[in-house]
Structures are given as C-alpha cells and as structure tokens.
Structure 1
Amino acid sequence: MIRLANVNKVYDGKYALRDINLTIKKGETLAVIGGSGSGKSTLLQLLVGLIRPDSGEIYIGGQEITHLSEKEMDKVRLNMGMVFQYSALFDSMTVGENVAFGLREHRKLPEVKIQRIIKEKLDLVGLHGVEKKLPSELSGGMKKRVGLARAIAFEPDIIFYDEPSSGLDPITTVKIDELIVDMQKKLGVTSVVVTHDMASACRIADRIAMVYEGDLIAVDTVERFQQIEDERVQAFFKILHTEKTERDE
C-alpha cells in the first residue's frame, strides 16, 4: 500500500530523514515512534504530500507521488484520511458540519446522503446524537472521535494518525487506542500512527518502526521489537516500564 525507497529530506544542511526504506502492507497498522525531533513528523508530512523529499521515491497504492502536481496529489489524498494531533476541528461549525466538511468540498452529493454519512460515521466511532453540538461542548476524547469520523467520511484506504494520544489522560488514551484497532478491523484500512507513546504503539500496532535522528533504526512486530537489543530502542521500553511501575505504586 505504501513504499518509501531511499527517501531523504534535508533542512538547513541537516538530514531530517536519511535513506529511508520502508514498506507498509495493505490492511496493517504501523506505529512510527521516536522522540521529539527524530523525524517521525517529517515522515508523516511526506506520506501525505505536504512536503516533498529531496531525493528518493514514495509510492501510495502503486503510484509514485513525489513528482505529482498539487492537483494530482489532491486526487491521491481523497484515498487518505487524516486524524490531527489536536483534532483540528472548526470551532464555529457543529460536529455534523465538521464531519461533512470534506464531502461538501470535494463531492457533489445530495444533502440527504451527506446527513446519512454523518450519522453513520459518528455511530461508527461511538458518538450518537452529537451532530448539533459544537466542538467546545466536547471532551478531548470526543473531539478525537469526531476527527476520526471526519477522516473516514470518504471511506479512505489509508488513515494517518498524528499523535492520537496527545493531551489525553491514560484512560481516554486506551479508549482511543481501542478505537484505532476497531477501525482497522471494521474498515480494513491501512493505518499509520505517529506517536511517542510506546505503550500505545504496543496496543495498536501490527509492526513498530522507530526513527532516531533521521534514521530508521528498527522495524518489526510488537513481540520481536521488544527483544531488539539496540540501546536506543530499549530506552523507550525503560520509559514504558518506569511509567507502569509508577502507576502501579
């Protein structure tokens, strides 16, 4: 579904990403982890086509996207859904209007069908009867769910998640993780989740990829990833175990 071949991105003479080679299979959930400034957000921006690599190739569904015009890239993006870090809802619009925003911008559909899609997608993410509410009336977790409903309104093949647990308490984070897994099972989508939260990555992912100072240093299943001896990988698990111990105490 997604393939990166020898991808490089440079800012001010410094590599943000260096020689990235990665294949993401159709229908799988890949968690991309890394600390602040590691390059994981740059990787996400490249996949969505918001920025272009300095060299290398990126394939989405078999189509090489790095040389597409913005108009051509917009067509590719219709097969993508994006769940933003802080939901990125329009405060002046109702929940229903937020979910339907992309549909009204890019699809000529009867209003009856749009309303049906709104209800269907909100029901799918566990939100019933909130169409008329404003984002300010929702909790952080509910906003994330609305963002996901908007992302799946087009019935995309790929969903990108940017730090989905950011700003959420541990209980709500687990609920959002369960929702990500549920969407993958129900919709069969390919999911790419960018996160710094190792516990979350272990709950949701089929595989984990770790970016460190612009390099892709490890890619493996959750079970095998925990056995990687690289000290940079193990440092993430030490943080996870420390946080768990502190919660247990």
Structure 2
Amino acid sequence: MVLAQERLIRRVGQMCRADQRLVAALTYGSFAQGEADAHSDIEFWLFIESRCAATLDRRAWLDDVGAIRFAVVNEFGAHVAFFPALIRGEFHFATAGDIASVGAWPARGAPAERMIILDRTGELRRALESLPARPKLPAAPDEVEELCGRFANWLVLAHHVARRGELLRAVDALTHAQRHLLWMARLAEGRTQHWLTPSRSAETDLPGDVAEALHETTTAADPETLTRAIGAAWRHGRRHWQQLAARGGRPVPEAFFQDLDAAIESRHPEP
C-alpha cells in the first residue's frame, strides 16, 4: 500500500525538478532511511538559487504540494505544514550557498541516492558523500564523562527545583536528564542506532528491561510521581555511568556520587 506521505514526497520531487529556481533538494528522516510508517513525517531541505531566494513565496510553494490545514515557521526557521490526516511536513528553505554547510552535518543518516531529490550541479552529492554514514559516538574518557556529567547537571537541577515546589520546571529539567540518560543507556548497551534522536524506537532498540527502567523516569507534575521519577533516573543513571567508567572511561567521581546518593535517596527513595 502506498502511504499518503509517499505521494507527497513524489509531488515535492516533481515540483523541485520543474522549478528552475531550485538548485538542489534532499529528503531525510524515516522515508530516506527505509523505516517509515503511517505516522512518519516528511522532511526536506530545498536549496534556492541565491538571486531568487528573496522573491520565492515559500507558503505559495507549499500550497502547491497539497492541501494544507495549517502551517507555521518553527523555532529553528523551518516551515512546518500539516496536511490532511495530520501528516506533518518539515521544509527547510535555504540558498544554493548553503549546500556546502551540509558537509558539516554530524552524519548522512541514509544513502545519498535515497536522499537526493534534485542536484543540478553535483555539489549536494559531494557534500552528502563526504559525511560519515553514522555520527561519531563518545569514545574517549573525557567524552563519556561529559555525557554522563550533562545528565547529572539536569538531574540535580530537577532535584532542587522539585524541592522548591516548581513542579513544572522540575519536569522540564528531568526531560533533559532523560535524553542524556537514553544516550548513556544506548552507549552502555551497545544499541547506538538512532543516536541523534535517542528516544526514537528506544522500546525496540534497547533490551526490554532497560526500556522498562527508563519508563520509570517519566513523570507527571505532581510531587509523588516526580519524586519517584527523579529517584529512578539517578539509580539507572548511576548504574550506566558505572558501566561506562568500568570500560575504560574515567573513574566515577565518588564524592559527587555520595552527595547525589545522600540527596536523591533521602528525598526520592526507591519505592
């Protein structure tokens, strides 16, 4: 069965090839990676001839793709269009001069031939093929310690603001801690696929008991569940940090661990 998203992707390709103002275009994400389903977004970078960039009507261009229920420019400057059935399309409009910046991306994410929609000069292919297929992982002791330390940074903030009674702020901080905890778990378990978006497919990428443990770190903004989640985040984070340190990373900072144990376990004990 052809998904509605695939029809939209084909339509974007037709429009790109017909529009001489476009120098290059690519798609990325689930469809380029061959992992898409009915819930997947469609995602594009469109590179416009520099002399045409100021006059191209982005919204009018998107309206030609298909019926749009709503559109917004997100906080990263991308145009996000919502098509029927809540299909979400993300469109980054850039100039031809920005093609070179593709070579600074952390990884390609999919074969170049699956990503390229249009490449009139060959520059886009060269930029994509210069990228590694997968992102560089933390490997050196200082890189691993930095990852674990960033987890602790957000967790300590969540602990303090929860004690102050700022429950929504604590949930926000804990969400940042969870993202780093996911990276720690992926690295510790050797399940580093989907590294750039560590929550993606976590329930199938990670062992079942690890995924279930990470579920314990999620919370609502009420004192009881927040307390449990912060405590669970530290217990699982401490274990992964120790695993990673034992594999050749820097030794865990014992005094810091003792401070966290005392603070977290006294306020957020294991049920």
TM-score tier after normalising by the smaller chain length = under 0.3
Name which one, 1 or 2, has greater alpha-carbon Rg. 2
Scaled by the length of structure 1, the TM-score of the pair is: 0.25
**TM-score computed with the length of structure 2 as normaliser:** 0.24
> Of Structure 1 and Structure 2, which has the larger fraction of its residues in helix?
2
Is the strand fraction higher in 1 or 2? 1
Q: Which has the higher contact order (CA 8 A, sep 6+)?
A: 1
